[in-house]
Structure 1
Amino acid sequence: MIKRGFFLFLILLVQQQLSAQIKQENYLALEKALGPESFFNGHLTGFMLYDLDSQHVEFEKNSQIRILPASTTKLFTLFASLVILQDSTQTLRYVSAGDTLKIWGSGDPTWKYKEFAQPDFQKVLGNHSVIQYSDANQVSPALGYGWQWDDYYYDYSAERSSLPIYGNLVQIQKNGAKLELLPSFFQNQIVPTSKRVKELERDFHSNRFYYNPSIYVGRERFIPFLSSPEILVQLAEAETGKRWIYKPEPLPSDHLVWRASALTPILKEMMQESDNFLAEQLLFMISDRLFQTLDTERAIEYMVKTYLNDLPDQPKWVDGSGLSRHNLFTPRSMVTLFEKLYRLLPEAELNEYLAIGGKTGTLKNSFQAAEPYIFAKTGSMSNNYSLVGLVKTKSGKNYAFAFMNTNFPYPASTVRKEVEKVMVIVRDGF
């Protein structure tokens, strides 16, 4: 019995030594992949790998340094939406006054946008013959703090508003030599030009659209329109068949609330397709739910002081989408946030919001493998590329990770390929 016990002890000791050796080899492999002689030494990189079962940090590099997150900011917006909005949007606040219905938009982005189930406005508009619209509850401006001024005519920079329609975008269709704009309200605003513009471009200060038919390429299918209450009431009249007027009255304390849309499809579209407009409108709805005003800054401040007060580093969070270069998060705060999402939702449900390597969303054409192993949110803009999410290893473990890169002079695709090499090391060795 003593000999048998001693033999089992030796086997256990050898196994522990082998395990420790393998673990050390894996650590050294990551050290080399991210070290002084690696590709990542040419720019600032922050990385953290965190075991979700043991709640132990397995590896980190510069995890305390704040880095521009780009669209990984949407993980913050996702978390805030889940805990505040829960399962439904905010659509309208309203008061009935005889034949007039007074309404204040709450930020719902779904009206005539993409393939979302449409709010049944007739339920609220009913037999009222006049709809009086007010945007007096909107505090935040149409464009976010720190957005690039020259992004105004790209579809990823649509304006924010209290009651958007068509996603605040004009759709462009080419019919022979003619361009057609939807909604047709904007059709007579097309101006021929001899400027060397290969796409339809909008004037900065107005909804005049310039088009050079001789060199038009037509890659861009949507362009933001300059939103205003006056334009909204005209578009809304055409859609509802009701008379709309604009009168910026303050929201009275005695009013009713209409929550018209399911939240989950909006969250999935925001995350899978990295839709900036949806992310911004979600923060509007969060602010409306909390404070009855559309104030992005106040909603963010509330979240940071309450649900996110235990982040290891104070975030600089200024918008919902990550368009702003003023956003700054550390990798370890990103991992902490992701762990919150991981504990909040069943894993299968969380993965439905994330892009899956080689399968869906912004990771459809990268991180390909017979068995998907990356479930994450990407974030990229010029000189920045980040990836935050879940990596499943061949040993069957789940790790949260944040891999953030900034200040590089080459295309984001170059960095993404190198990031993929590192994540393969994690997948195979941990």
Structure 2
Amino acid sequence: MIKKLGSSVLLYTISIFALFAQEIDARERYEGLNALIGPNTFFDNHPTGFMLYELDSGWVHFEKNSHMSFIPASTTKLLTFYASLMVLRDQTNTFRYVEEGNEITIWGSGDPSWKYNILPQPKIEDFLSRYSKVKFSASNWKDEAFGYGWQWDDYYYPYSAERSPFPIYGNIVMFKNVNRSPQATIPAFANSIKTYSKVSPTVRRDFHSNIFYYNPSTYTNPGPMLPFVTSPELTVQLLRDVLKKPVELVNTELPTTARLFNGGSMRPLWKEMLQESDNFIAEQILLMVSDQLFGELNSERAIDHVLKTYLRDLPDDIKWVDGSGLSRHNLVTPRNMITLMEKIDKSIPRDQLMNLLPQGGINGTLKNNYKAPRPYIFAKTGTISNNHCLVGIIRTDSGRHHAFAFMNNNYLNKASEIRREMEKVLLYIKENY
């Protein structure tokens, strides 16, 4: 009996010492991390928010301004990703249709894939080949070509391609240099290329129209990719060119009995959106969410629904206005992003999630950062001028997985300097947590 009592006391004493040692170890780790990101550090020179959360234990290891709102930039795409996981599952909504004998009426559902050469191609031409005539209606389009708060002077850049109900070619056009003259890769723009006297090595586009200019004396660059101005009329013209058959623009309302053409898996779209941070794909995914929910394309309505249903338990208020994060009107807290990451982690197998996200030193927007013999950062980047954020998963040397949100706004440093200091923090976590 005395032996048993002595053994119990010994085990209890060992347990107490183990807990005490763990507490000391946790405090030392916290103090080490605080010395890198806390008061009087580099990250006190501008608004910084940070939170570190162990996914399997639910333990918050560190917070800095986690309740404050920050411009998330392209980490907004994680909101769009989660919305599509909940609403679309794994299938794209390409278009809705009604058959009328040998004719078909179609309404776009937002799928960005067709003729966008970075994505697998839906078999649209094969499907429509059986009809003698195609009618296209944009009556379900309840949105704008540009998102709320997008910068007007981004119209010229491919990362700001217009949104539309039935995109073709990713809503961008490219040019070849043929005998020192630009040749559009889309036949519809063959006669829209004009000359001008402005010194430029490449092609420029008119602000309000699909007129493209070049200087014959200075033109050398075959690029760039240029967004074109979308419209239902242009969609019909492109459809005629691709399908080689009559296509008519109509204003027919979308009936509830219309059937849905699913073009393919969402996974290639998710991968391109998350790893390469493709804004156009993100915006069109949000439109597909709206199509699935309401039978119309309205990103604002889709966002409102997702916030009130799947994200109603976020710990802080949020302002979410677009699918891509191009807008500076988006505002989220690090706590919200951690809650979002936890929701995503529970909605998709973790290994699949980590493969979809950019991996440090391996691919996507993290290919040249956070390099290690074994990848340890799996995260979505977000960068617009004077703002850089990183949200995702860090795998530590102990084998644990932590969600983290690292948000930096309104700095005057170079982005490379911000990333360098962030790497010091994340390496410390990798090696000590």
Question: 1:73 maps to which residue?
Answer: 76
Question: 1:97 maps to which residue?
Answer: 100
Question: 1:25 maps to which residue?
Answer: 28
Amino acid of the residue matched to residue 224 of structure 1?
Answer: P
Question: 1:358 maps to which residue?
Answer: 361
Distance 2:190 2:425 in 1: 50
1:165 aligns with 2:168: yes
1:289 aligns with 2:295: no
Q: Which runs of 5+ in 2 are unaligned?
A: none
Question: 1:221 maps to which residue?
Answer: 224
The alpha carbon displacement at 1:314 in A equals 2.0
Distance 2:408 2:201 in 1: 32
1:338-417 equivalences in 2 (<5 Å):
338-417=341-420
Question: 1:232 maps to which residue?
Answer: 235
The alpha carbon displacement at 1:234 in A equals 1.3
The alpha carbon displacement at 1:8 in A equals 5.4
Q: Deviations over 1:173-213 (max 9, x none)?
A: 22342222211321322222222444422111111112235
Distance 1:275 1:401 in 2: 22
Q: Is the 8 A contact 2:177 2:222 kept in 1?
A: no
Q: Is the 8 A contact 1:173 1:221 kept in 2?
A: no
Question: 1:194 maps to which residue?
Answer: 197
Q: Is the 8 A contact 1:386 1:405 kept in 2?
A: yes
1:113-132 equivalences in 2 (<5 Å):
113-132=116-135
Query: Bigger shift: 85-94 or 115-124?
Result: 115-124
Change in 2 beyond 3 A, CA 1:219/1:354: farther
Q: Deviations over 1:375-428 (max 9, x none)?
A: 110000001100000011112211100000000012222211111111011111
Equivalent position SS for 1:334: helix
The alpha carbon displacement at 1:6 in A equals 5.7
The alpha carbon displacement at 1:126 in A equals 4.2
Distance 2:41 2:223 in 1: 38
1:321 aligns with 2:327: no
Question: 2:314 maps to which residue?
Answer: 311
The alpha carbon displacement at 1:32 in A equals 1.5
Distance 1:193 1:414 in 2: 41
Counterpart of 2:155 (choices 144, 152, 156) is 152
Q: Is the 8 A contact 2:38 2:64 kept in 1?
A: no
Distance 1:84 1:328 in 2: 23
Query: Bigger shift: 390-399 or 91-100?
Result: 91-100
Distance 1:176 1:9 in 2: 85
Query: Bigger shift: 3-12 or 230-239?
Result: 3-12
Equivalent position SS for 1:127: coil
Q: Which runs of 5+ in 1 are unaligned?
A: none
Q: Is the 8 A contact 2:203 2:224 kept in 1?
A: no
Distance 2:220 2:384 in 1: 24
Distance 1:213 1:63 in 2: 55
Distance 1:218 1:50 in 2: 48
Amino acid of the residue matched to residue 225 of structure 1?
Answer: F
Q: Is the 8 A contact 2:109 2:297 kept in 1?
A: yes
Q: Is the 8 A contact 1:90 1:285 kept in 2?
A: yes
Question: 1:270 maps to which residue?
Answer: 273
Aligned pair count reads 430
Q: Is the 8 A contact 1:50 1:400 kept in 2?
A: yes
Amino acid of the residue matched to residue 188 of structure 1?
Answer: N
Distance 2:428 2:91 in 1: 40
Question: 1:63 maps to which residue?
Answer: 66
Q: Is the 8 A contact 1:170 1:224 kept in 2?
A: yes
Q: Deviations over 1:102-133 (max 9, x none)?
A: 11111111100024332222454243222111
Question: 1:299 maps to which residue?
Answer: 302
Change in 2 beyond 3 A, CA 1:101/1:371: same
1:247 aligns with 2:222: no
Q: Deviations over 1:343-399 (max 9, x none)?
A: 111111111210001111111110000111111100000011000000111122111
Distance 1:65 1:114 in 2: 40
Change in 2 beyond 3 A, CA 1:179/1:123: closer
Change in 2 beyond 3 A, CA 1:220/1:418: farther
Q: Deviations over 1:240-287 (max 9, x none)?
A: 111111112221233222112211111111111101110000011110
Change in 2 beyond 3 A, CA 1:63/1:214: farther
TM-score normalized by structure 1?
A: 0.95
Identity level (%): 48
What RMSD over aligned residues (CA atoms) do the two structures have, in Å?
Answer: 1.8
